[in-house]
RNA sequence: GCGGCUGUAGUUCAGUGGCAGAACGCUUGGUUGUGGCCCAAGAGGUCGUGGGUUCGAAACCCACCAGUCGCCCCA
């Protein structure tokens, strides 16, 4: 029989790896809570139409990366490829515009995208998504970028690059794209590679994001959106930079930074790490999406959010040799000699667990040498080994051995709990 | 989806046409009740999968699958 593997681009989180994800999860929750963000859990699937409309029919995600299916009831559903559309659907559905604004929400969970997997890119991956809805104050933009930074700092990850840009709004971007950028790019058309020519047709802004070195060189002269922003977008961007400067938070304005979702307006940002020398070095990406909620049938409502990838954060932690705090591990390990002492060990371990200790028993179907049991105890993380012998059985006591020192002491059973509490 | 590289034990890898290997890890034992070091024994592999070439394939050829690097795109 053939053995099974996890589906392509998907991975198990083994016990050894759990500590990374638990730590990232707990750290993220603690950091966003300091800013008043509250957890929101949405379904892992939504109507396909929600993503088509929200993310944009022209995007790669909607065009070729969604896990979509039809239910027995003929609903067209899609496993979420991102969080924002579903969270905004929930905002509208639950009338959260009636709450004090902004409504600050976060979600953590798996997303699925049918992509070609590689290091740092998986078909199923995990994100923290942080969204603040109902407010267009650039101070909020600054705070959102800051909380992202603080999550990484709390994890001990430094050496990050914060890239920032404004991609304008429906009042100014179309004019720039149609009347300035496209004509300029058309004039350079012969120098563009195949993919950049395609982008020029489909999504001209993305040509700015090219990895083609020749095109990048040309782009030093490209007219920048920054010079064509409307007053509102310019004021917003200037104010955001002012707030970031007040915080002393370093960032780089990258006038060529654009992002893949159709819904972004004004602020876009990315956090990259030099610790990852792959192409997938973006740890965190986000931006403002002031038009999305109206697009999904709600009142016109400004909003901003970002996504932070757990798998990539973990890769950086490993690369930097940052070891997460351990999960709760076994404190006590009980050994025995024969049937009678094993029963006493079994009972005592059960009682110790009831008392709140993490305790394990040496197992064997029948006999097992004491040495073998002691080796098992040595491999366990237990600090103390509880030894149940015939002599101790008679005296209603046990020997407690501290593994780090090898020191051993006889403790009456009645006093065991107290004795251990004083030491663990 | 396109192109390059790589798939041998749980892990890291050796083996380049002639018996499937090493190290580490794992299990058990090393005599009457004590771990780490050491010693011994053992378990664990359809050599990624399927086809082809050959007297003979882990090795050579093809396809597929998976991983990885780059592109596309993204966390």
A140 and A22: one domain?
Answer: yes
Number of structural domains (chain A) is: 2
| Chain A residues 135 to 194 with C-beta below 7 Å from nucleic strand B | none
Cα(first)–Cα(last) distance of chain A, in Å? Answer: 48
A23 and A150: one domain?
Answer: yes
A385, A377 Cβ separation under 8 angstroms: yes
| Chain A residues 261 to 300 with C-beta below 7 Å from nucleic strand B | 261, 270, 277-280, 282-285
Residue A238 lies in a domain: no
Residue A314 lies in a domain: yes
- Strand B bases contacted by the protein (CB, 7 Å): 1-2, 26-30, 32-36, 46, 49, 65-75
What pLDDT score does A2 carry?
Answer: 57
A315 and A359: one domain?
Answer: no
**Range of weakest confidence among A5-9, A206-210, A265-269:** A5-9
**Is A378's CB less than 7 Å from nucleic acid strand B?**
yes
Instruction: Please tell me the distance from the alpha carbon of residue A31 to that of residue A145, in angstroms, as a whole number.
Output: 12
Nearest 5 degrees, angle CA A109-CA A156-CA A277?
Answer: 75
A417 and A295: one domain?
Answer: no
A33 and A91: one domain?
Answer: yes
**Is A204's CB less than 7 Å from nucleic acid strand B?**
no
pLDDT classification of A278: cutoffs 50, 70, 90: confident
A311, A294 Cβ separation under 8 angstroms: no
Instruction: Please tell me the distance from the alpha carbon of residue A53 to that of residue A137, in angstroms, as a whole number.
Output: 26
Residue A347 lies in a domain: yes
pLDDT classification of A1: cutoffs 50, 70, 90: very low
A288 and A353: one domain?
Answer: no
A391 and A307: one domain?
Answer: no
Distance A371 CA to B31 C1' (A): 12
Q: Which is more confidently placed, A145 or A278?
A: A145
Average per-residue pLDDT in chain A? 92
Residue A12 lies in a domain: no
Nearest protein residue to the C1' atom of B75, measured from CA: A309
Instruction: Please tell me the distance from the alpha carbon of residue A11 to that of residue A5, in angstroms, as a whole number.
Output: 9
Mean pLDDT in residue range A287-301: 94
Which of A260, A290, A319 represents a domain boundary (last residue)? A319
A289 and A359: one domain?
Answer: no
With a pLDDT cut of 90, the percent of chain A lying above it is: 75
Distance A3 CA to B57 C1' (A): 23
A382, A370 Cβ separation under 8 angstroms: no
Instruction: Please tell me the distance from the alpha carbon of residue A132 to that of residue A233, in angstroms, as a whole number.
Output: 18
pLDDT classification of A201: cutoffs 50, 70, 90: confident
A315 and A336: one domain?
Answer: no
**Is A63's CB less than 7 Å from nucleic acid strand B?**
no
Residue A401 backbone phi and psi in degrees, to 5: -115, 125
Name the DSSP class of A118.
B
Distance A223 CA to B14 C1' (A): 58
* Nucleotide with C1' nearest the A375 CA: B35
Residue A81 lies in a domain: yes
Q: Residue A253: which of A224, A276, A217 has the closest Cα?
A: A224
pLDDT classification of A193: cutoffs 50, 70, 90: confident
pLDDT per position as a tens digit, A219-268: 989 999 999 999 999 999 999 999 999 999 999 999 999 887 778 999 99
Mean pLDDT in residue range A327-349: 94
Which of A263, A292, A319 represents a domain boundary (last residue)? A319
Residue A60 domain boundaries: 18-157+282-319
Give me the interface pTM, i.e. the ipTM.
Answer: 0.87
Residue A117 lies in a domain: yes
Q: Which CATH number fits the domain that encloses residue A39?
A: 3.30.930.10
Q: Which CATH number fits the domain that encloses residue A400?
A: 3.40.50.800
A66 and A150: one domain?
Answer: yes
**Is A391's CB less than 7 Å from nucleic acid strand B?**
yes
State the pairing for strand pair A282-288/A265-273. antiparallel
Alpha-carbon Rg for chain A, nearest whole angstrom, is 29
Q: Which is more confidently placed, A15 or A304?
A: A304
The arrangement of strands across the sheet holding A45-47 comes to A45-47, A76-79, A67-70
Phi-psi region of A413 (alpha: psi -120 to 50; beta: other; left: phi over 0): alpha
pLDDT per position as a tens digit, A97-137: 999 999 999 999 999 999 888 888 999 999 999 999 999 99
What pLDDT score does A291 carry?
Answer: 93
Mean pLDDT in residue range A382-393: 93
Residue A49 lies in a domain: yes
Which of A270, A296, A319 represents a domain boundary (last residue)? A319
Q: Is the pTM of this model over 0.90?
A: yes
Residue A256 lies in a domain: no
A65 and A140: one domain?
Answer: yes
A353 and A378: one domain?
Answer: yes
| Chain A residues 103 to 142 with C-beta below 7 Å from nucleic strand B | 113, 115-123, 125, 127
């Amino acid at each position: 029989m053939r053995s099974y593997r996890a589906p392509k681009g998907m991975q198990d989180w083994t016990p050894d790896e759990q500590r990374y994800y638990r730590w990232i999860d707990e750290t993220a929750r603690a950091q966003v809570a300091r800013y008043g963000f509250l957890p929101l859990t949405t379904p892992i699937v939504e109507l396909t139409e929600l993503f088509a409309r929200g993310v944009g029919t022209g995007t790669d995600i909607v065009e070729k990366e969604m896990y979509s299916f039809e239910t027995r009831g003929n609903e067209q559903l899609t496993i979420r490829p991102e969080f924002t559309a579903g969270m905004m659907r929930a905002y509208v559905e639950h009338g959260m515009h009636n709450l004090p604004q902004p409504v600050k929400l976060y979600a953590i969970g798996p997303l699925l995208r049918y992509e070609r997997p590689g290091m740092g890119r998986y078909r199923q991956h995990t994100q923290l998504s942080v969204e603040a809805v109902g407010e267009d104050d650039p101070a909020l933009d600054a705070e959102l970028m800051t909380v992202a930074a603080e999550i990484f700092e709390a994890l001990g990850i430094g050496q990050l690059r914060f890239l920032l840009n404004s991609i304008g709004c429906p009042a100014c971007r179309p004019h720039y794209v149609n009347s300035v950028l496209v004509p300029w790019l058309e004039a350079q058309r012969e120098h563009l590679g195949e993919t950049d020519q395609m982008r020029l047709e489909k999504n001209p802004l993305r040509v700015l994001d090219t990895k083609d070195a020749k095109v990048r060189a040309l782009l030093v002269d490209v007219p920048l959106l920054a010079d064509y922003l409307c007053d509102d977008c310019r004021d917003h961007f200037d104010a955001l930079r002012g707030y970031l400067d007040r915080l002393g938070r370093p960032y780089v304005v990258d006038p060529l930074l654009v992002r893949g979702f159709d819904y972004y307006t004004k602020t876009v940002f990315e956090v990259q790490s030099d610790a990852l020398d792959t192409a997938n070095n973006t740890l965190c990406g986000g931006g403002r999406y002031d038009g999305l909620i109206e697009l999904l049938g709600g009142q016109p409502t400004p909003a901003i959010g970002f996504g932070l990838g757990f798998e990539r954060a973990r890769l950086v932690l490993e690369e930097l040799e940052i070891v997460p705090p351990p999960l709760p591990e076994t404190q006590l390990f009980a050994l025995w000699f024969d049937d009678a002492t094993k029963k006493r060990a079994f009972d005592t371990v059960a009682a110790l667990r009831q008392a709140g200790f993490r305790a394990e028993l040496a197992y064997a179907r029948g006999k097992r040498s004491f040495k073998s049991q002691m080796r098992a105890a040595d491999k366990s993380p237990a600090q103390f080994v509880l030894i149940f012998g015939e002599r101790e059985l008679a005296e209603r006591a046990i020997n407690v051995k501290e593994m780090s020192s090898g020191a051993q002491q006889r403790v009456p059973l009645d006093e065991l709990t107290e004795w251990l509490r004083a030491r663990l």
